[in-house]
Structure 1
Amino acid sequence: MDANDAPAVRLAGVRLDRGTRTILSGLDLEVPRGSITAVLGPSGSGKSTLLAALTGELVPAAGTVEVLGQPVPRQQRALLALRRSIGVLLQGNGLLTDLTAAENIALPLRTHTRLPRAVIDRLVEMKLHAVGLRAAADAYPRELSGGMARRVALARAIALDPPLMIYDEPLTGLDPIASGVIINLISELNDRLGLTSIIVTHHVHETLPIADRAVVIANGRVVYSGTPGELQASGDLLVQQFLQGKPDGPIAFDSSPRAEAA
């Protein structure tokens, strides 16, 4: 199969460990190109661990992880090249406080390209326009609302025109209106730019309406993979417990303190 015809992401028989603890096992997953896939699950279910495997931060203990038609490399130079093809929107935004919105967006362009200053400035303007914030170019992160800061972080994530976007809890800390704006932007940018998007979240009802595929992770494994409609119609007790937010059911609520990392 040609690399361009392969799924944007493919996991086969993957086991992910943190130290001596297995977080996820038996992962088999494909993310079609051009799709929006929602990866859902309760807090602590391993969603962020999955993201670490996709970006090469965490090497699988078993199985294979392929991104954009190639195995995630372990050699540093090849891994950095792959990461330039992946845009990541962090839940904490990760904006540099001493840079303006425009300067934050320009940073990856200045770091990873040799484009002239005038071209970078034009690209920054285009990215700000894409998220509806051209007027905020000279504002510092402290001068932005939570929703505006998240949109600046999104503009920075798409600065290098990555074919794959990963959203790590993009709605955390946002009010309902700001959440609606971000969800609409994710959908519009995916269609307009021809992206593939993976949204890792526990915000089920806000995310499913824009998703083509839904994956539910719980109890250390994938417990559901299919369309959002099939997910909501599922009779699986574990899936329904998560969707309805029930405290009792197959998904255990672990109230014991976690052991400190060695």
Structure 2
Amino acid sequence: MTTEPPIVRLTDLRLDRGGRSVLRGINLSVPRGSIVAVLGPSGSGKSTLLSALTGELAPAAGTVEVFGQKVPQDQRELLELRKGIGVLLQGNGLLTDLTAAENVALPLRAHTRLPKALIQRLVLMKLHAVGLHAAADAFPRELSGGMARRVALARALALDPPLMIYDEPLTGLDPIASGVVMSLVRRLNDTLGLTSIVVTHHVHETLPVADHAIVIANGGIVFSGTPGELERSQDPLVRQFLLGEPDGPIGFDAAPRTTTEAA
């Protein structure tokens, strides 16, 4: 019986920004069908890692493989790869002069030649999947923060990508909306057969839906294991992060950050 290769594999990865190393020695395999939480304090390099997964940032050393192939440098090949990756941005990125349905339709109009009627049908299916079928004609300004986040999620799912990446999906959401979004992440992952990477610092909202968790701090991975193992960890660095303690082995803002450095 052959073992299916991971959908994402990072090997001895080093990522540099602004002339300095942000992350180094990163090794990670993401099995198909799983939800992996990438946790860490602000400025730890979580979004820098995301940039490497989507091909925006080339490795300084090591390799990034997605769907069994190295992330290409050629722009045309990279565009094809990105069609298989859905990204939910922390700022939603919705166009304010378009309705919810029109926002969700954007990737379908840009990357397919499907007839208008079929695109409209697919858009309504995606909105229904996130519980917003009735909000198709609403503009972003008419939506709550949680609803806008779900419209952005429907848009990220428009091309049926096998891999979903969530960049701080709970930013600006209240506890109820956060619970709805994370429950939706789990349900969509299971019902659509997705693989999901959730990049976040919201530990307690994310761990209940995750299969695996890693913690990034001080330039590398300081923990990798199940959510239960993370919560039981007695490592001082991990405990500091989980408990939100200001003093400990994790240095906060120890070095000036460049304007391009991600959170």
**CA deviation map 1:51-89 (0-9, x unaligned):** 000000000000000011111001111100000000000
Give the secondary-structure state (helix, strand or coil) at the position aligned to 1:60. Answer: coil
Distance in structure 2 (CA, Å) of the matches to 1:258 and 1:46: 11
Give the secondary-structure state (helix, strand or coil) at the position aligned to 1:78. Answer: helix
Shift of 1:45: 0.2
The one-letter code of the counterpart of 1:120 is: I
Give the secondary-structure state (helix, strand or coil) at the position aligned to 2:43. Answer: coil
Alpha-carbon contact 2:169-2:200 (below 8 Å) kept: yes
Shift of 1:234: 1.1
Distance in structure 1 (CA, Å) of the matches to 2:257 and 2:150: 33
Other-structure match for 1:186: 185
| Gap runs ≥5 in structure 2 | none
Distance in structure 1 (CA, Å) of the matches to 2:258 and 2:105: 40
Other-structure match for 2:110: 111
Distance in structure 1 (CA, Å) of the matches to 2:239 and 2:69: 35
The structure-2 alpha-carbon separation of the partners of 1:109 and 1:245, relative to structure 1 and needing over 3 Å to count, comes to same
Other-structure match for 1:142: 141
Give the secondary-structure state (helix, strand or coil) at the position aligned to 1:247. Answer: coil
**CA deviation map 1:113-159 (0-9, x unaligned):** 01111110000000000011111101111111111100000000000
The one-letter code of the counterpart of 1:224 is: F
Give the secondary-structure state (helix, strand or coil) at the position aligned to 1:178. Answer: helix
The one-letter code of the counterpart of 1:192 is: T
The one-letter code of the counterpart of 1:146 is: G
Give the secondary-structure state (helix, strand or coil) at the position aligned to 1:235. Answer: coil
Q: Note the 1:27-46 alignment, pairs <5 A.
A: 27-46=26-45
**CA deviation map 1:211-239 (0-9, x unaligned):** 00000000000001110111111111101
Distance in structure 2 (CA, Å) of the matches to 1:144 and 1:259: 34
Distance in structure 1 (CA, Å) of the matches to 2:252 and 2:43: 10
Distance in structure 1 (CA, Å) of the matches to 2:69 and 2:162: 14
Distance in structure 2 (CA, Å) of the matches to 1:54 and 1:238: 26
The structure-2 alpha-carbon separation of the partners of 1:143 and 1:113, relative to structure 1 and needing over 3 Å to count, comes to same
The one-letter code of the counterpart of 1:162 is: P
Give the secondary-structure state (helix, strand or coil) at the position aligned to 1:63. Answer: strand
The structure-2 alpha-carbon separation of the partners of 1:145 and 1:222, relative to structure 1 and needing over 3 Å to count, comes to same
Shift of 1:256: 6.6
Give the secondary-structure state (helix, strand or coil) at the position aligned to 1:77. Answer: helix
Other-structure match for 1:219: 218
Q: Note the 1:78-117 alignment, pairs <5 A.
A: 78-117=77-116
The one-letter code of the counterpart of 1:106 is: A
The structure-2 alpha-carbon separation of the partners of 1:107 and 1:22, relative to structure 1 and needing over 3 Å to count, comes to same
Give the secondary-structure state (helix, strand or coil) at the position aligned to 2:24. Answer: strand
**CA deviation map 1:22-65 (0-9, x unaligned):** 10000011111100000000000000000000000000000000
Distance in structure 2 (CA, Å) of the matches to 1:260 and 1:106: 33
Distance in structure 2 (CA, Å) of the matches to 1:256 and 1:238: 18
Q: Note the 1:150-161 alignment, pairs <5 A.
A: 150-161=149-160
Shift of 1:19: 2.6
**CA deviation map 1:157-192 (0-9, x unaligned):** 000000000000000000011101100100000000
Other-structure match for 1:210: 209
Query: Scaled by the length of structure 1, what TM-score is found?
Result: 0.96
Other-structure match for 2:175: 176
The structure-2 alpha-carbon separation of the partners of 1:20 and 1:256, relative to structure 1 and needing over 3 Å to count, comes to closer
| Gap runs ≥5 in structure 1 | none
The structure-2 alpha-carbon separation of the partners of 1:71 and 1:260, relative to structure 1 and needing over 3 Å to count, comes to closer
Other-structure match for 2:13: 14
Give the secondary-structure state (helix, strand or coil) at the position aligned to 1:95. Answer: coil
Query: Scaled by the length of structure 2, what TM-score is found?
Result: 0.96
Distance in structure 1 (CA, Å) of the matches to 2:51 and 2:173: 24
Q: Which structure 1 residue ranges, 4+ long, deviate > 3 Å from structure 2?
A: 255-261
